[in-house]
Amino acid sequence: MPALGQFRIPSWSTISANPTYHRVALRRVAAASRDTRLDGIRRVLDRIEEEEQQQRNRARPLEDPYLVGEAAAAQARRERLARENGDEILIREDRRWDFFLNELSSRRPRSTRLAMR
């Protein structure tokens, strides 16, 4: 059975501390968490950029004119660029639609509230 003394608030507790210090500490914690989130985002973007750079620099045997000939290498390069550029257009369009639908969903509640007045 626990003793009542275990539930007593010690004199150094944050409950009895100066509230100004408490607010300063909370602001510092919030600022530190924002910075770590931004650092995480930066690290992810850097990693994506490195992977894209590796994709660009990797060896492509189908585009090597010494292995497959100049005409076949040029054709393989054209086909690869068409595939990559086509995918990029679809990805951009998908992001635009996501943004548009997000904006639309965020405006619906406002227009509903205005209609109710």
On the 0-12 / 13-18 / 19+ scale of CB atoms within 10 A, 77 is middle
Dihedral pair phi/psi, residue 10, rounded to 5°: -70, 165
Q: What is the C-alpha separation between 18 and 75, in angstroms, rounded?
A: 74
Res 112: pLDDT: 55
* Residue 71 confidence (pLDDT): 94
| Per-residue model confidence as pLDDT tens digits over 14-28 | 555 677 877 888 888
Least confident of 10-19, 34-43, 87-96: 10-19
How many angstroms separate the CA atoms of 22 and 17, rounded?
8
CA distance 17 to 105: 45
Domain ranges of the chain: 17-58, 63-117
Q: Has residue 114 got a pLDDT over 80?
A: no
